[in-house]
Amino acid sequence: MQVRSVAIALLVAHVLSLLGFSTYAVALTQLQAQWGLSNSEAGWIASGFFIGYVATVSTWSSLTDVIDARRIYAAGSLIAASGSIGFAIGAEGFISALGFQILLGIGIAATYMPGLKILSDRTTGKEQSRFVAFYTAFFGIGAASSLFLAGQSLPVLGTNWTFFLCALGPLLGALIVLSRTRPLAHERHPAAIHWSWQRLFPIATWKRVLSDRKCLGYTVGYGVHCTELFGSRTWIVAFLIFSAASLPAGTVTWVSAASAAAIVSILSVPASIIGNEIALKIGRRGWIVISMVMTSLVGVAMALAGGSHWLIVFLLVAVYSMLIMADSATLTAGLVSSAEPGVKGAAMGLYSLIGFGGGGVLGPAIFGFALDLSGRGLTPVSWAIGFATLGLGCLLFPLFDWWLHRTNPFRDR
């Protein structure tokens, strides 16, 4: 019961820590018009979050192997709150907005994987796999909560106060983690930290992690998964607004589009948990291959349906969102169970670095660039090219999996 209590506390804190995650995505079209940004510039601001995340996640995660991860979580919460508050009072265009999004990414880098480390250190076996699945799935709840909160508050409070309101989430999350968890024995007497490039960028440890083919597969899989996940989450509200352009004026605004995006994000949460259960039965590799191929194909079909009946678009967005999340927990649980105990923190840091770096940094920017090159997002074909670009890595992943293991993924249990 004590383990479940700690897990629930970490899940609640996880959701609160992400309240600033989707605020910019909701305000994107408004700020783009206000500041005169191109699609590429708007995409790069979204990528700023992941630039900050990638620049620091390996350091934060590696440090959890030698010091109390709870302290790292608290520090990250303060930094994340500062990023949202800074955006509220200081963002005036491309450069300043990019800077505050980077700061937000630095903060969440110190909460997401360290929070998972706190959880995984206190659970084992199938219980660990299921709690990890819930933790990963709750990222969707956090993103949805951010979408909903921003979508509801923007028309009432305006952009600045909305960013300030979302900054309260990480602070509350830190209070919950510090009050509901206790340090483990090795965390009460942490080892002395010797700062070096090896500590900041543990190359030798990463090589050790990647020499394990299972860890390599899950890490690369997470990278292409995140490209599609974060690229689509950045632009989904804008896509819904585009799809509603043919409806009577005012029927679907950026506010209701944000609410729709929040709904489909919530609907995708069970998909991650159920997907993990399916993977435990048919094998992780097989389930990952199925999910990635289906997601890429549905994404293109969804984009081509843009501008058709709103209900059709909404249903396709919901299916697409669920398919994206269907292998998320499976990838993370696979990495956590495969990594050696002594390097688990570094392995999780590298995993997150590849996912949020290769996927998070490039996904939103590539999508915006693809839109600019294919008609500036003014036609369904332009959006289809954007979603196809995001899904290319997932579509090719089965070939990489075969090259890596040279065995049938559906026979690997």
What is the per-residue pLDDT for 118? 87
56 within 8 A of 109, measured Cβ to Cβ = yes
What is the per-residue pLDDT for 251? 53
Give the distance between the most distant pair of CA atoms in the chain: 64
Options 1.20.1250.20, 3.60.10.10, 3.40.50.2300, 1.20.1050.10; CATH for 2-179+202-411 is: 1.20.1250.20
Listed in sequence order, the residues at least 6 apart from 9 whose beta carbon sits closer than 8 Å to its beta carbon are: 176, 177, 180, 181
What is the per-residue pLDDT for 26? 86
* Cα–Cα dist 262/240, whole Å: 12
Read off the pLDDT of residues 70-118 as tens digits, 9 standing for 90 and up.
899 999 999 999 999 999 999 889 999 999 999 999 999 999 888 988 8
How far from the centroid of its chain's Cα atoms is residue 402's Cα? Answer: 26
* Cα–Cα dist 63/72, whole Å: 8
Q: So where are the chain's domains? A: 2-179+202-411
Angle at 307 between CA 306 and CA 313, to 5 degrees: 50
Which mean pLDDT values do the consecutive 10-residue runs of the chain (413 residues) have?
78 95 88 89 89 84 80 95 94 93 95 87 71 80 88 87 95 93 63 55 81 91 90 84 66 64 82 86 90 89 79 87 88 85 78 79 85 85 88 90 86 64
Nearest to 231 by CA among 162, 295, 148: 295
Helix, strand, or coil here: 177?
A: helix
* Cα–Cα dist 17/11, whole Å: 10
Nearest to 412 by CA among 325, 338, 322: 338
**DSSP string of 304-350, one letter each residue:** HTTTS-HHHHHHHHHHHHHHHHTTHHHHHHHHHHHS-GGGHHHHHHH
18 within 8 A of 161, measured Cβ to Cβ = no
Sign of the torsion angle spanned by Cα atoms 70, 75, 80, 84 = positive
| C-beta atoms surrounding 89 within 10 Å | 10
Phi/psi at 167 (5° precision): -70, -20
| C-beta atoms surrounding 409 within 10 Å | 19
Helix, strand, or coil here: 252?
A: coil
What is the per-residue pLDDT for 74? 94
* Cα–Cα dist 261/272, whole Å: 17
* Cα–Cα dist 326/270, whole Å: 8
Question: What is the b/e burial string over 316-353, where b = at least 16 CB atoms within 10 angstroms of the residue's CB?
Answer: bbbbbbbbbbbbbbbbbbbbbbbbeeebbbbbbbbbbb
383 within 8 A of 239, measured Cβ to Cβ = yes
How far from the centroid of its chain's Cα atoms is residue 289's Cα? Answer: 20
288 within 8 A of 153, measured Cβ to Cβ = no
What is the per-residue pLDDT for 175? 95
* Cα–Cα dist 203/212, whole Å: 15
Read off the pLDDT of residues 262-305 as tens digits, 9 standing for 90 and up.
888 888 878 888 888 898 888 889 999 999 999 988 888 888 88
Give me the residue label for tokens 């609410």.
259
Give me the residue label for tokens 């509801």.
152
